Amino acid sequence: MSVSPSTMAAVRASGAVPQAEYLLNAENVRKEFPGVLALDNVQFRLKRGTVHALMGENGAGKSTLMKILAGIYIPDQGEVYLKGLPIRLKSPLDALENGIAMIHQELNLMPFMTVAENIWIRREPKNSFGFVDHGKMYEMTAELFKRLNISLDPESQVRDLSVANRQMVEIAKAVSYESDVLIMDEPTSALTEREVEHLFQIIRDLRAQGIGIVYITHKMNELFEIADEFSVFRDGRFIGTHASTDVTRDDIIKMMVGREITQMFPKEIVPIGDVVLSVKDLSLKRVFRDVSFDVRAGEILGIAGLVGSGRSNVAETIFGVTPATTGTISINGTPVKINTPTQAIAHGMAFLTEDRKDTGCLLILDVLENMQIAVLQDRFVKYGFVAEKQIAKACKTMSDTLRIKTPNLQETVENLSGGNQQKVLIGRWLLTNPKILILDEPTRGIDVGAKAEIHRLISQLAKTGVAVIMISSEMPEVLGMSDRIMVMHEGRVTGFLDREEATQVKVMELASK
């Protein structure tokens, strides 16, 4: 039925393979996990020398399909064809040796080794004594970088590189395997505008060399900018493949959610009250300087700026994660000292962090345990004992209000989709009845439907008089949700824009000045 990878390699080497229509295609693929049908008879067809985007909400099956193509999962049914020949991949290494390379969202590099060592690991050039020939290795790396137009020192350690540069190393590594297929999972999620431009240039070069690129993204603009074709998935089913020139943004959203989203940013205009949080000349050594702003009850203050502008650091400092070097924070007009998150919470603050996995979820614990953890600081506890029934009831109500999709509160959070994990974390903070809510990238990596729900929720909270600070890299989100926008650049506030005057161009000007 299917050909083993070694046979495949032999057949390829013999040159007996006719030019297939597709570089890589999957037909009638089905994959089931306990309790979930992740892929239901889907197809995927990648043409040579094209960028093919995979679109769909979280849980639509993109990741599962991608992992099947990269040899991480083995499909229950269906066939994968590489250049027209059926192939059954047993492991990621197997895939790599057959010319399919995957660049993960979490980059898989060894931080304490050099760039060159990372690229040629397992295939190091050896000298006549059988030792690694570092000189040759650096040469090979330099050559590779030249071909890809990457300017990086092959001898630098990976831990000293920025996320963008690490990604370049990963891409170079994939190319060094003479890969025909490159799978990229949301490669731009942590890159600045300029870095994205560079990445796209490299992708275009690779495409011109005949490499097929599978590109997973949540960002619609990228689709139009870089992709030739795209396939949409929904609830584990294949919806369709189209050329990206044939459709509009709305068409794609319709395909992804199966319904029309009329209003993406249901911002309600609500009366704005007194100043709740006032930050004056806040500085954190070598990170940001002289940040001053006020947030009023009912107001949504958006903070925009490029990655690395210090936006998240300001939030962390206000919340006591990294206490300020100088400056004052006042709540309701009274200066307060906030050196730990515990103190911040006691002052009615809540902080939804940027990184769900690292600083948000207790992944191995269940929904209830995740939701209750912050509120237990001062409520639902008597003589040290937790009022189990009351807290379970409160969490259930919260879970229903937020429409968290989970079989029950005893489900491990790890098994929830990104959007639902985010809702659990929002629930964790709402249980504390915050007066000041700081949201750092509240909808990152979340599907369109859940995004709209979270936006609606933020609006509702503002309506009840909560002062909201929302940091976001997504321009439409910042413009659509904020009453006022504070823009940062390289650790300084470069300006404020009112809702009426704010445009994408004005924000970008301030963010890069």
Partner 1 sequence: MTSEPVTAKTTTPTLTPKSRRRLPPEVNILLVLVGIALIFEILGWIFAGQSFLMNFQRLRIIILQVSVIGIIAVGVTQVIITGGVDLSSGSVVGMTAMIAASFAQSSTWARPVYPALTDLPFFIPIGVGLGIGLLAGIVNGWLIAYTKIPPFIATLGMMVSARGVAKWYTKGQPVSGLTDQFNFIGTGIWPVVVFLLVALIFHVALRYTRYGKFTYAIGANAQAARVSGIDIEKHLIKVYAIAGLLAGLAGIVTAARAQTAQAGMGVTYELDAIAAAVIGGTSLTGGVGRITGTVIGAIILGVMISGFTFLRVDAYYQEIIKGVIIVAAVIVDVYRQKKRKV
Residue 386: CB minimum distance to partner 1, A:
6
x/- contact string, 124-153, with partner 1 (CB under 8 A)? ------------------------------
Smaller CB separation from partner 1, 323 or 495? 323
Contact segment (CB under 8 A) with partner 1 among 101-109, 202-210, 305-313, 342-350 equals 342-350
Nearer to partner 1, 212 or 360 (CB): 360
Measured distance CA(114)–CA(139) in Å, rounded: 13
- Provide the 10 A C-beta neighbour count for residue 201: 12
* Residue 251 token pair: 């068409």
d(CA 180, CA 254): 32
DSSP state of 414: G
Closer by beta carbon to partner 1, 31 or else 218:
31
Whose tokens are 């010319």? That residue is 99
Find the binding residues for partner 1 in span 29-48 (CB under 8 A).
30, 32-37
Which window, 96-104, 168-176, 300-308, 405-413, contacts partner 1 (CB under 8 A)? 405-413
Q: Is the C-alpha dihedral spanning 489, 495, 496, 499 positive or negative?
A: negative
Is residue 239 within 8 Å of 233, Cβ to Cβ?
yes
Applying CB under 8 A, the span of 145-153, 350-358, 485-493, 502-510 interacting with partner 1 comes to 350-358
Q: Is 340 in the site for partner 1 (CB under 8 A)?
A: yes
Instruction: Tell me the window of 43-51, 250-258, 367-375, 505-513 that interacts with partner 1 (CB under 8 A).
Output: 367-375
Site for partner 1 in 152-191 (CB under 8 A): none
Ramachandran bin of 421, using left for φ above 0, alpha for ψ from -120 to 50, beta for the remaining angles: alpha
Answer for which of 321, 395, 466, 511 binds partner 1 (CB under 8 A) is 321
**How many whole angstroms separate alpha carbon 221 and alpha carbon 179?**
27
Asked if residue 372 binds partner 1 (CB under 8 A), the reply is yes
Q: Which of 341, 445, 449, 465 is the binder for partner 1 (CB under 8 A)?
A: 341
Closest CA to 275 of 292, 253, 257: 292
CA angle 308, 264, 58 (to 5 degrees): 70
Contact segment (CB under 8 A) with partner 1 among 85-93, 118-126, 166-174, 362-370 equals: 362-370
Provide Rg for the chain, Cα atoms. 25
Interaction of residue 362 with partner 1, rule CB under 8 A: yes
Element (H, E) at 20: none
Give strand pairing partners of 37: 32
State the number of CA atoms in the 13 A half-sphere of 15 facing the CB.
0
Long-range contacts for 204-207 (Cβ within 8 Å, ≥24 apart)?
205/148, 205/149, 206/171, 206/175, 206/182, 207/49, 207/50, 207/51
Closer of 93 and 373 to partner 1 (Cβ): 373
248 binds partner 1 (CB under 8 A): no
Residue 121 CB, nearest approach to partner 1 (Å): 23
What minimum distance in Å lies between the beta carbon of 447 and partner 1? 20
Binds partner 1 (CB under 8 A): choice among 1, 364, 400, 501: 364
The answer to the question of residue 60 lying near partner 1 (CB under 8 A) is: no
> Closest approach of Cβ 30 to partner 1, in Å?
8
Residue 320 or 480: which CB sits closer to partner 1? 320
Can residue 257 be called a binding residue for partner 1 (CB under 8 A)? no
> Tokens in use for 288?
């940001």
Q: Which is nearer to partner 1, 114 or 417 (CB)?
A: 417
Whether the Cβ atoms of residue 418 and residue 356 lie closer than 8 Å to each other: yes
Cα Dmax for the chain? 79
From the list 58-66, 288-296, 329-337, 375-383, the region that binds partner 1 by CB under 8 A is 375-383
Handedness of CA 380, 317, 444, 103 (dihedral sign): negative
The residue range among 44-52, 212-220, 275-283, 374-382 that interacts with partner 1, by the rule CB under 8 A, is 374-382
Write the CA distances from 265 to 425, 464, 478, 481, integer angstroms.
21, 18, 10, 6
- Least distance in angstroms from the C-beta of 151 to partner 1: 34
Q: Check binding of 407 to partner 1 (CB under 8 A).
A: yes
Check residue 413 and report its DSSP letter.
Answer: G
Q: Choose the stretch contacting partner 1; rule: CB under 8 A; options: 159-167, 212-220, 357-365, 491-499.
A: 357-365
Closer residue to partner 1, CB minimum distance, 258 or 341: 341
- CB closer to partner 1 out of 187 and 434: 434
Q: Is 45 helix (H, G, I), strand (E, B) or coil?
A: strand
Nearest to 466 by CA among 373, 348, 375: 348
Tell whether residue 381 is a contact of partner 1 (CB under 8 A): yes
For partner 1, the closer of residues 104 and 492 by Cβ is 104
Counting contacts by CB under 8 A, is residue 74 touching partner 1? no
Paired with 438 in beta bridges are 351, 469
Confirm or reject binding of residue 13 to partner 1 (CB under 8 A).
no
Q: Is 373 in the site for partner 1 (CB under 8 A)?
A: yes
DSSP letters along 279-330, please? EEEEEETTTEEEEEEEEETT-EEEEEE-TTSSHHHHHHHHTTSS--SEEEEE
Name which position in 64, 217, 278, 353 contacts partner 1 (CB under 8 A): 353
3-state secondary structure (DSSP) of residue 114: strand
Binding site residues, partner 1, CB under 8 A: 30, 32-37, 76-77, 319, 321, 340-342, 344-345, 351, 353, 358-365, 369, 372-374, 376-377, 381, 384-386, 388, 407-408, 412, 414, 428
